[in-house]
Amino acid sequence: MIFNMKRIIFSSLIVLITLNQCGLKHKDKESKIKMNFTILNKIENKRENNSEYVYYAAEINLINNTDSIFEYWTNTCSWPENFVFSFDSTYVPYDTLDIYLGYSCPSNYPIIHQIKPKDKITIKTVIRYINSNNYLQDKKIKLGFIVIEKKELSELGDNYFGLFFKKSKNRKDIIWSEPFKIVQ
């Protein structure tokens, strides 16, 4: 009887410690990287003669809140694909609102980027909004950063694009900005 009681207490203790550790890991992962997104100003587009699109200068800050280097996968040219726009838990289609590159790229492949401990990277970019899509007016939109950490893929042979699209579809490992509005 004493042996069974010790066994129950020991088992209960192990379960409590495990649950506590899981909770800490979950909280730790959420605060690991933070993203700030700011629309700076509307841009006059003098190169294109149509008013189909409205352009905005924007700034994305990815902030590493940890004491270790944060390494993640992105692409050399199509890095905007790591970012998705969403409102009311619905993705905004890429042809409605996107991060605009404005240039072509002769070679696009996955690469690893690093953010040093307690540091940030700032990405100055342009977002493009289709002028005729007024349904985004006055909606609270969020920008999401799809995270593929270095440890999730080997540098040789793992399917980067497959993992990326799976995370995007399942809304897994996405860090969201605070909501913002498009003002025309």
Q: Where are the domains of the chain?
A: 31-176
Does pTM top 0.85 for this prediction?
no
In CATH, 31-176 is 1.10.3470: no
- The reported pLDDT for the residue numbered 15 is 36
pLDDT by residue (tens digit) across 117-140? 999 999 999 988 877 656 677 778
Residue 2: pLDDT over 50: yes
Overall average pLDDT of the 151-177 stretch:
77
- The reported pLDDT for the residue numbered 95 is 61
* More confident: 104 or 148: 148
pLDDT by residue (tens digit) across 88-109? 666 676 666 777 777 777 888 8
**pLDDT grade, residue 64 (50/70/90)?**
very high
- The reported pLDDT for the residue numbered 61 is 95
* More confident: 62 or 22: 62
The DSSP-derived string for the chain is -HHHHHHHHHHHHHHHHHHHHHHHHHHHHHTTEEEEEEEEEEE---S----SEEEEEEEEEEEE-SSS-EEEEEESS-GGGGEEEEETTEEPPTTTEEEE--S--S---EEEEEE-TT-EEEEEEEEEEETT-GGGTT--EEEEEE--BGGGS-SSS--HHHHHHHHHHHT-SEEEPPPB----
